[in-house]
Amino acid sequence: MSGVDVAIVGGGISGLAAAYELTKRGLSVRVLESSDRPGGVIRTDRFDGWVIDGGPDALLVQKPAAIALCRELGLGDRLVPTLTPRTAYVLRDGRLHPIVEGSFLGFPIKPSAFVHASLFSWPGKLRMALEAVIPRGNVDEDESIGSFVRRRFGTEAAEYLADPLLAGIHAGDADRLSVQALFPRLVEAERQRGSVLRSFRAHNMKPAPQGAFLSLPGGTQEMVDALVAALPPGTVQLGSRVTEMHRAGTYTLETGAGPVQARSVVLAVPAYVAGSLLGGFDTMLAGLCAAVPYASTATVAFGFRQEQIGRPMKGSGFVVPRLERTPLLAATWVSSKWPARAPAGHVLMRGFLGGGRDPHRTERGDAELIAAAREALAEIMGITGDPVVQRLYRYTRQSPQYEVGHLHRQASIERRLAALPGLFLTGSGFRAIGIPDCVADGRDTAGRAAAWLGAEASRESRPPAG
């Protein structure tokens, strides 16, 4: 049976970032990944001039951990900003309305933005402007994103911003997702200044001039490939689903490819998988992990010839409020957002379906999902004829939902986990939504595992008392 300092279960970006940090510190590591490829949710297909990210395509600049890791991996010169114009749109009554300049997180901040925002009615705009004088609420109590935005900015902002944009990026339902867990900045603004608008204006909040996101010409998979290449050969063991875990001095992890022994274990799997592996250690902890809800989504990518598109794709794409009668949650105009994603004379776009708002959508067959996305895009974008390329990517139970109370449950998870020696949890189900936070949390967790191993080694080498 092979033995290592740390076994990492799950070879998504969280597990790989943890492995990178541990091997940099000189520890021996094995990443046990159930599927036949590393990267988890991150996946890019490249063929005939098309570069298609099935899942994530963008690294948020404001959270620097992922970009810093790209630079460490020698990818710094390959990071590319989004193309201009960077306008994002919101669908209302079948028409695309731009999120105007002078807005932040979609909220009009500058007076000019209130005037030009065609997305909102005048009574809606007036109600949003009143946010500056609405008294502070009980900021210590968690509430949903929908409830927060409705309370402070009114119903129209909840329906046309909170629902499609703030909850939409998490594939969730605005009336269930936690504002404290996902948008602590909004809560802090209310806590500190009594008003989001006044706080954003005081801090002169505006999008970064170079854009809010970066990516890589070969898609986000480039980052995964570089990470795996930076690890000692053989570190990542594919096709190795961990089915059981027990501890007798060291940990033993059972996989279809044989058992692996490790002094410490980092679980970097979805929370419900962590729950199933922890059952033999602490049933309450296992239950807390299993209770983190997950949504399923599907991405459908389409390539068309430029002349098939009736409406200009000047921006990054659009989001869709649930009030609109279309199965789409959002769409990205990939070839207008990033350079070199489609062959000359062609465009690439992606439609998103399912999520917490439409949980049964992804139960349908492939052909039905592709047709639903295609018909909706054709109507909104004025598309004629068949796509030259189409690809469906399913993400079944792969979008964790930080619902109201998530932070409370996370605190309980951490309290119970502290009693299990040498066992650590990371990944998007717990403290880290999105690639930058997954990288930061994976590396931080690795640091804690290394510190535990160091302390353990010095305990073992100490002569017995007396």
Ligand X SMILES: Cc1cc2nc3c(=O)[nH]c(=O)nc-3n(C[C@H](O)[C@H](O)[C@H](O)COP(=O)(O)OP(=O)(O)OC[C@H]3O[C@@H](n4cnc5c(N)ncnc54)[C@H](O)[C@@H]3O)c2cc1C
Binding site for ligand X (CB under 6 A): 9-15, 32-35, 40-42, 55-58, 60, 241-242, 268-270, 273, 297, 299, 395, 398-399, 427-428, 433-436, 438
Residue 394 beta carbon to ligand X: minimum distance, rounded to whole angstroms: 10
Residue 73 beta carbon to ligand X: minimum distance, rounded to whole angstroms: 16
Name the 3-class secondary structure at 370. helix
Residue 401 beta carbon to ligand X: minimum distance, rounded to whole angstroms: 12
DSSP state of 331: E
Query: Which residues are within 8 A (CB) of 32 and not within 5 positions of it... i.e. 6 or more apart?
Result: 7, 8, 9, 10, 11, 237, 240, 241, 242, 253, 255, 260
Residue 49 beta carbon to ligand X: minimum distance, rounded to whole angstroms: 22
Residue 64 beta carbon to ligand X: minimum distance, rounded to whole angstroms: 12
Strand partners, 250: 248
Could you identify the residue written with the tokens 């004629």? 384
E strand map for 306-345 = 317-319, 330-332
Q: What are phi and psi of 61, to 5 degrees?
A: -70, -35
Identify which of residues 43 and 176 has a Cβ nearer to ligand X in the complex.
43
Identify which of residues 35 and 192 has a Cβ nearer to ligand X in the complex.
35
Strand partners, 423: 265
Identify which of residues 145 and 435 has a Cβ nearer to ligand X in the complex.
435
Identify which of residues 180 and 399 has a Cβ nearer to ligand X in the complex.
399
Identify which of residues 199 and 399 has a Cβ nearer to ligand X in the complex.
399
Identify which of residues 42 and 450 has a Cβ nearer to ligand X in the complex.
42
E strand map for 165-241 = 213-215, 236-237
Give the C-alpha distances (Å, rounded to integers) separating 433 from 28, 95, 183, 344: 27, 31, 11, 35
How is residue 208 written in tokens?
A: 């970064």
Residue 305 beta carbon to ligand X: minimum distance, rounded to whole angstroms: 26
